[in-house]
Structure 1
């Protein structure tokens, strides 16, 4: 079990496991409409069993080294999370993503948590490329990609249908040398 502090506001990054099903469901219920504006994540989980099933699928992905979920807790309360939606160690590529309930938005939690994931992906696991995909209309998500120093690779026009609307999906990425250089610059400016 780990709990990684995300700053001095009491925010922590922790594993999100099947035994968190009740807490996870309560969190989804608090943020269902907000979370579901642009993504389907958590939309089918309406009871403890289905919430546990989603968490179990990601626990199995973690065991298979092909993805994982990590919760963001603020003041001891689950308020969102970040994930490796896909993780291909052999190819050195992965896709990351996030979700938050509305009360947690605007605090920099996702950016801080994503720094932990990207440091681990590049530093520990030797990933070469990390991708971020977001609906063009999801400006908060696009802003996180920018804050992480990602580059917009392109737009997949009307590629994803969600809630009866076809969305353009922007693909953003950061490569290992770019991440290392940005982190080195940030370290130098901190000193």
Structure 2
């Protein structure tokens, strides 16, 4: 939930960016809209910044507009969804009942979505590493073969090149 004072601060930040005049009715309306959508101050502030720094920054001055509560709500929800992209549930160390699991899962999702808890920036890799045969095969990839060693291994190759033979017609 966002407090009345926080909405006033948010509208003050918007006014500093788009030269609006915010009154008591604006604060009341924004307070009602943001609370109805369950948007907290941190998400609303991040959404406001993204609106002006990203969405409006690339537009011509005559195409720019002032931010509204639907803009803030949509962008805040997008930010929350982005935070959850790589979310992974961290189970309890002891066995959990279904009720404990659901409570723990909901708490972790809420913490990550709100930004109170960091989430890995990329999906976790498989543990244990590649199979030993794959490691042996990969060890040979990317190593150059000296020309002398290639000539010793393949004496029929007269010169380097894709065919290793001279064309009898054009001598290429």
Bigger Rg, structure 1 or 2: 2
The TM-score with structure 1 as length reference comes to 0.26
Structure with the larger helix share: 2
The TM-score with structure 2 as length reference comes to 0.28
Structure with the larger strand share: 1
